[in-house]
Chain A
Amino acid sequence: AQSVTQPDIHITVSEGASLELRCNYSYGATPYLFWYVQSPGQGLQLLLKYFSGDTLVQGIKGFEAEFKRSQSSFNLRKPSVHWSDAAEYFCAVGGGTGTASKLTFGTGTRLQVTL
């Protein structure tokens, strides 16, 4: 069974500081990996995805993530956080064909940004 672990429930960073959110996954084959962001009272917005190829993927809003197969990780990074990045972030893992595109989500990391 596929699973996702986001070990940090809540992270606080200062505006302008760098950010890394951790994500570890369990999946039996090559995974499809995603990071979504959810602002308060809103739906989920896709930040970036990894399907194959280059293990460093770029997303929207200046975010990037690196797929490390040996560590079963897909950590999200941003070099300089803005106050508007305060939100909840979800990592998700899914399969390809034959799995109905089901995603399994982590429990989320809430990011607080101090000025």
Chain B
Amino acid sequence: NAGVTQTPKFRVLKTGQSMTLLCAQDMNHEYMYWYRQDPGMGLRLIHYSVGEGTTAKGEVPDGYNVSRLKKQNFLLGLESAAPSQTSVYFCASSLQVPKQFFGPGTRLTVL
């Protein structure tokens, strides 16, 4: 099992550009999550999904969109990137109890 994988590992964008981060899991987990990690702030939940075709807002959803078209994939989109979105993004997945498995992260810099 690969567990949770994230693509890409690193990305540099210019302000206003768009991009999509891909998260994939092979554990047949129902729940998937996107977090951002910033120094001194821990991990903050952006969006999450409780199953294929469903998404919900987390703590810091503004400026991001998500889609869960397939159970194993969870996409995070930035339509118009801003410097404030410079961060490390983590995807996670879980079954119905909150034991989450994390991907290796994507480091995004917005210039």
Contact = CB atoms under 8 A, between A and B. Distances in A.
Interface stretch (B38-46, B60-68, B69-77, B79-87): B38-46
A71 interface: no
A81 to B, nearest CB: 22
Contacts of B58: 102
A63 interface: no
Interface residues of B, number: 27
Interface in B85-107: 90, 92, 94-105
B50 interface: yes
B31 interface: yes
A74 interface: no
Interface in A37-57: 42-46, 49, 51
Contact of A101 (B4, B40, B42, B96): B96
Contacts of A94: 98
Which interface class (under 10, 10 to 19, 20 to 34, 35 or more) fits A? Answer: 20 to 34
A101 B97 contact: yes
Interface of B: 4, 31, 33, 40-45, 48, 50, 56, 58, 90, 92, 94-105
Given A97-B96, A106-B42, 9 more contacts: A32-B97, A45-B102, A96-B98, A101-B31, A103-B98, A103-B100, A105-B42, A107-B40, A107-B41
* Nearest 6 CB-CB pairings of A with B: A94-B98, A101-B98, A105-B42, A107-B42, A44-B102, A43-B102
11 contacts: A4-B42, A32-B97, A43-B102, A43-B104, A44-B102, A100-B48, A101-B94, A101-B95, A102-B48, A107-B40, A107-B42
